[in-house]
Amino acid sequence: MSKTQIDYKNLYYPPGGILIWIIIFIELITFGIALITMVYYGEQEPILFRDSRLQLNVTFGTINTVLLLTSGFFMANTVHELKQESIPKAKKHLLATMLFGVLFLVLKGIEYDSKIDEELLLSTNTFFTFYWMLTLFHVLHVIVGLIILVAVFFGMLKENSIPKMEDVEAGAAFWHMCDLIWLLLFPVIYLIF
């Protein structure tokens, strides 16, 4: 583990690095614009959006929020343990991070399966077009995040391998970005219409 002291107060070195934060802001703005557009369309067809929203399972959405935030908690612990050079603990926390990420995907799969059974598809109405597009795009980010975490994990398994703290923090920042996007998607899609 390279134990270089990073000065986070430096404008060009936010935690995770400036490049990942540029990506995070691009992603947040993209999802933000899409969600604002959804709410705008919701104002044009309020009854349809309300009726459609009521067909979503808020309990599933809430549990998914819990799963992602718990995963984020373990990710934060992973970074902390790596900074302490405690690799075994970091590995355990990283495994827990991935486990909760996979559980999120499993529950999302169950939710999608029930929507397909009920024939609430992409083409059903405007609400479900937004629902499928936004949540699937988010799921895609979670899958990419998991691939990054698996790569970090295998990097830790190698003996004599020295994972760079900046790389681990960048991977962690991407994973937390999935939390952030979900924290915006959940209230808009599942709660407010």
Binding interface with other proteins (CB under 8 A): 8-11, 14-16, 21, 25, 28-29, 32, 35-36, 39-40, 42-43, 58-59, 62, 65-66, 69-70, 72-73, 75-77, 79-81, 172-173, 176, 179-180, 183-184, 186-188, 190-192
Q: Which is nearer to other proteins, 40 or 160 (CB)?
A: 40
Q: Which two tokens stand for residue 53?
A: 């929203």
* Residues 30, 36, 38, 41, CA torsion sign: negative
E strand or H helix that includes residue 50: helix 46-53
CA–CA separation, 35 and 130 (whole Å):
8
Neighbouring CB atoms inside 10 A of 112's CB total 15
Dihedral sign from CA coordinates of 144, 149, 154, 160 = positive
**Cβ distance to other proteins smaller for residue 53 or 115:** 53
In the complex, the smallest distance separating the C-beta of residue 141 from other proteins, rounded to whole angstroms, is 15
CB nearer other proteins, residue 36 or residue 144? 36
CB of 8 to other proteins, least distance (A): 4
